[in-house]
Amino acid sequence: MLSLEIFRAHKKEVVAAWVEAVFATYPFETTGFLRTKQDPFGNPVAHMTREAASTLFDAVAGEDMHPPTVKNALDRFIKLRAVQKFLPSQSLAVIHAMKPILREQVLPKMQDVGQLAAYLEAESRLDSLALLAFDMYCEARETVAEARIKEIRNQHAQLARWAQRLEDGGKAE
């Protein structure tokens, strides 16, 4: 498992670079706060990103991971991006943002030891993960849309039942 070892050796840099890349996608106002180097100021946003970063990398590297674990780790990250002010493409393009980082950091090493095929496989895994993220993104958006409908329905739930009964009563008479 030479390729896995190379990936593992680069985890720290790639994850850090990717987290940076994600932070860079936030509109100006947020970047400063998320990124602060001196004090490791975190906030839920930064934390969800880090949670996602580590797992995303492991999955790409080809670690033995169960899909539910991956999904769980990406869950809040994707959900967060789904309710932020982004276009869908912008929300999810961050997954692909790992590619240039991998190409810069990992690809040369892999080529040196003739593991190009393994590297390409890793990139394919990233593509699959992007598709997984797409599913999750859609699901999240659907949840929001559903929440809207449900909320309107719930606000008037009893009223609707009452109206229904009136109607039924009217028919019975």
Partner 1 sequence: MFASLILVLLMGAIAWVGASIGLASLFGVVLPYVAVVVFIAGLVWRMVYWAKSPVPFAIPTTGGQEASLDFIKQAKIDCPSTTWGVVKRMFLEVFFFRSLFRNTLAEVRENDPVNNGPRSIYYSSKWLWCFSLLFHYCFLLVFIRHFRFFMEPVPSCITFVETIDGIMQIGAPRFFMTGGILLVAVLFLLGRRIFNQRLRYLSLANDYFPLWLILGVVVSGICLRYFDKTEISQVKIFLMGLTHFSPVSPEHLNAIFIVHLTLVCVLLMYFPFSKLVHAPGVFFSPTRNLANNTRRVRHVNPWNPPKQFFTYPEYEDAYRDAMAEAGLPLEKQPEKAAE
Partner 2 sequence: MAKLPTPQMLVASRPAFPEQDWLDIKPEFAPGSFCYPAKKETMELLHMPNPHDWDPAAEDWNLPENWEKILCDAFAERLEKHRSLKLFMDICVRCGACADKCHFFLGTNDPKNMPVLRAELLRSLYRRDYTMLGKLLGKKVGARSWDKDVVKELFYYAYQCTECRRCSLFCPYGIDTAEITAIVRELMHEVGLGTHWIMDPVKNCSFTGNHLGIQPHSFVEIVEMLADDCETVTGIRPKTPFNEKGHEILFITPSGDVFADPGIYTFMGYLLLFHELDLDYTFSTYASEGGNFGSFTSFNMAKKLNAKMYAEAERLGAKWILGGECGHMWRVINQYMDTYNGPSPSHMITPKSPITGTVFKNAASTKMVHIAEFTADLIHHNKIKLDPSRNDHIVTTFHDSCNPARAMGLLDEPRYVLKHVCNNFVEMPENTIREQTFCCGAGSGLNTEEIMELRMRAGMPRGNALRYVQQKFGVNHMACVCAIDRATLPPLADYWAPGVTVSGLHELVGNALVMKGEAKRTMDLRQEDLPNVVDDEPEGEE
Integer Cα distance of 53 and 15 in angstroms: 6
How many CB atoms sit inside 10 A of residue 22's CB?
23
Q: Is 29 in the site for partner 2 (CB under 8 A)?
A: yes
CA quadruple 87, 92, 98, 99: dihedral, nearest 10: -90
Residue 79 interacts with partner 2 (CB under 8 A)?
Answer: yes
- Decide: is 84 part of the binding site for partner 2 (CB under 8 A): yes
| Between 76 and 141, CB nearer to partner 1 | 76
- The CB density around residue 127, as the number of other CB atoms within 10 Å, is 13
**Measured CA distances, 145 to 9, 71, 77, 83, 122 (Å):** 42, 21, 18, 11, 34
Size of the site for partner 2 (CB under 8 A): 47
Which range binds partner 2 by CB under 8 A, 25-33, 56-64, 103-111, 119-127? 25-33
What x-and-dash track marks residues 68-97 binding partner 1 by CB under 8 A? -----x------------------------
Interface with partner 1, residue 3, by CB under 8 A: no
Query: Pick from 35, 51, 71, 97: which binds partner 2 (CB under 8 A)?
Result: 97
The residue from 9, 24, 47, 166 that contacts partner 1 (CB under 8 A) is 47
Query: Smallest Cα–Cα separation from 4: which of 70, 64, 74, 68?
Result: 64
Taking alpha carbons only, the member of 29, 31, 23, 88 closest to residue 52 is: 23
| 158 belongs to the binding site for partner 2 (CB under 8 A) | yes
- CA dist 159 and 58 (Å) reads 51
Binder among 6, 14, 22, 46 for partner 1 (CB under 8 A): 46
* Residues forming the site for partner 2 (CB under 8 A): 24-31, 33-34, 43-45, 76, 79-80, 83-85, 87, 89-90, 93-94, 96-97, 99-100, 140, 143-144, 146-148, 150-159, 161-162, 165
